[in-house]
Amino acid sequence: DQQVKQNSPSLSVQEGRISILNCDYTNSMFDYFLWYKKYPAEGPTFLISISSIKDKNEDGRFTVFLNKSAKHLSLHIVPSQPGDSAVYFCAASGGSNYKLTFGKGTLLTVNP
Partner 1 sequence: DTAVSQTPKYLVTQMGNDKSIKCEQNLGHDTMYWYKQDSKKFLKIMFSYNNKELIINETVPNRFSPKSPDKAHLNLHINSLELGDSAVYFCASSQEIMSAARVNYGYTFGSGTRLTVV
Shortest distance, position 98 Cβ to partner 1, whole Å: 6
Is-contact 23 30, C-beta < 8 A? no
Rounded Cα–Cα distance for residues 32 and 2 (Å): 17
Q: Which is nearer to partner 1, 43 or 83 (CB)?
A: 43
Q: Which is nearer to partner 1, 15 or 57 (CB)?
A: 57
Note the residues at the interface with partner 1 (CB under 8 A). 32, 34, 36, 41-46, 49, 51, 53-54, 89, 91, 97-102, 104-105
CB atoms < 10 A from the CB of 86, how many? 21
Q: Which is nearer to partner 1, 32 or 62 (CB)?
A: 32
Shortest distance, position 102 Cβ to partner 1, whole Å: 4
Cβ-proximal residues to 22 (8 Å cutoff; 6+ apart), any chain: 6, 7, 8, 72, 73, 74, 106
